[in-house]
């Protein structure tokens, strides 16, 4: 499973990239608002730090304008992945842009048939939003499982990018189902390596080692 980080905070991205934990980055207009800096600067800096796909979202609603904005974003760096909303206009833009060789992430997916349509439009990534479905008492993980099954049934190579992840368990379940990628907030990504028994065991080992009076060096 590939790990993308879901943030526009360049300092956090740098820290995770230095640890060798990042395969890509996703941003969205809300994350750009939170970062409170020009989008172009943010995307350029992230693309310098991370080699994998960096999703940057268009804000136009009509196909021709989405394509125009998408190409501007893709002009920032070779690894920009154009993020388009899952609308009819978005899928038309997706077909055109992937046909020209651009990377496209179709976002705001909330149903399996939407994901099927995005794959037919040639999407590089489909982003089903797990957490936002759970928020309204629907089963976000069931959606990931349905999309996996449909894509495998027909041999679509669109990658399932599990998004709107809120918990460590979301990552575990998405990995068990076979999502290709998880995009995870920085705090959750760091929490994936934590376990209280690891900390407890390490404390014990270090105390016992100290008691031996030995040194490896
Ligand atoms: C994915 O690309 C989105 O930016 C993100 O996962 C949305 O997550 P949220 O529902 O926590 O805002």
d(CA 39, CA 158): 27
Predicted pLDDT at 186: 96
As annotated, the active-site residues are 83
Residues 6 or more apart whose Cβ sits within 8 Å of residue 26: 4, 5, 6, 54, 55, 83, 105, 127, 161, 163, 183
Q: Is the CB of 52 under 6 A from ligand 1?
A: no
Q: Which of 143, 163, 186 to mutate to test the pocket of ligand 1 (most atoms within 8 A of CB)?
A: 163
Predicted pLDDT at 15: 95
Would you tell me how many other CB atoms lie within 10 Å of the CB of residue 116? 19
- How large is the angle between the packed helices 88-99 and 112-120, nearest 10 degrees? 30
Q: Which fold has domain 2-212?
A: TIM Barrel (3.20.20)
Distance 95 CA to ligand 1 centre (A): 23
Ligand 1 atom index nearest CA of 107: 2
Q: What residue ranges of the chain have pLDDT lower than 50? A: none
d(CA 4, CA 176): 17
Question: pTM of the full predicted structure?
Answer: 0.96
Task: Provide the β-strand partners of residue 106.
Answer: 84, 126
Predicted pLDDT at 97: 98
Q: Is the CB of 178 under 6 A from ligand 1?
A: no
Predicted pLDDT at 58: 98
Residues 6 or more apart whose Cβ sits within 8 Å of residue 29: 57, 59
Predicted pLDDT at 212: 98
d(CA 158, CA 112): 13
Render pLDDT for 16-68 as a digit per residue (tens, 0 to 9): 999 998 999 999 999 999 999 999 999 999 999 999 999 999 999 999 999 99
Distance 3 CA to ligand 1 centre (A): 14
Ligand 1 atom index nearest CA of 163: 6
Predicted pLDDT at 207: 98
d(CA 10, CA 45): 7
Could you tell me which of 163, 84, 86 has the C-alpha nearest to residue 127? 163
């Amino acid at each position: 499973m590939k790990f993308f980080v879901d943030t526009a905070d360049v300092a956090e991205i740098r820290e995770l990239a230095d640890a060798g934990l990042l395969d890509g980055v996703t941003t969205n207009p809300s994350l750009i608002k939170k970062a409170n800096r020009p989008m172009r600067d943010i995307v350029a800096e992230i693309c310098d730090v991370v080699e994998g796909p960096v999703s940057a979202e268009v804000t136009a609603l009509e196909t021709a304008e989405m394509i125009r904005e998408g190409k501007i974003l893709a002009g920032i760096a070779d690894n920009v992945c154009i993020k388009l909303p899952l609308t009819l206009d978005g899928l038309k833009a997706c077909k055109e842009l992937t046909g020209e060789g651009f990377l496209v992430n179709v976002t705001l997916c909330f149903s399996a048939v939407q994901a099927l349509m995005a794959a037919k439009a040639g999407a590089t990534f489909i982003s089903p939003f797990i957490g936002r479905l759970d928020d309204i008492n629907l089963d976000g993980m069931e959606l990931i499982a349905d999309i996996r099954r449909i894509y495998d049934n027909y041999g679509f190579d669109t990658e399932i990018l599990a998004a709107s992840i809120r918990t460590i368990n979301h990552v575990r379940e998405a990995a068990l189902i076979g999502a290709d990628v998880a995009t995870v907030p920085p705090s959750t990504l760091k929490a994936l390596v934590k376990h209280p028994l690891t900390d407890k065991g390490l404390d014990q080992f270090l105390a016992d080692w100290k008691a031996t009076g030995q040194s490896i060096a």
